[in-house]
Amino acid sequence: MVSREVVVKNATGLHARPATLLVKKASSFKSDISVEFNGKKANVKSLIGVLSLGVTKDSKITVIASGDDETHAAEEVVKLIESLEE
């Protein structure tokens, strides 16, 4: 299991378009990937799950990956979240 903390810089947080991009990226990996925010946890491969967290701009979230490609998966998801600056 690999976990990484990242701060969401996107103006809208993880809503609609950014969440869709995140789900697409996460779905390309074999590993189970989840995000923790405010004591809640959601599967990143589920758009409804990501949206239900209500992650806003400047929120610190934890990305957790577990599986065959966990290290690469966690790095790529964190990289995508960091690149979502608008």
φ and ψ at residue 65, rounded to 5 degrees: -125, 140
Residue 39 carries which DSSP code? T
The H or E element spanning position 33 is strand 32-37
**Tens of pLDDT, residue by residue, the chain (86 residues):** 999 999 999 999 999 999 999 999 999 999 999 999 999 999 999 999 999 999 999 999 999 999 999 999 999 999 999 998 76
0.75 exceeded by pTM: yes
Domain count, the chain: 1
72 as an active site residue: the answer is no
Q: Which domain holds residue 59?
A: 2-83
User: Where residue 63 sits, what CATH number does that domain have?
Assistant: 3.30.1340.10
Cross-strand pairs, 60: 7
Say how far apart CA 15 and CA 11 lie, in whole Å. 10
Residue with tokens 């967290």: 53
Q: Which of 2, 9, 12, 15 is catalytic?
A: 15
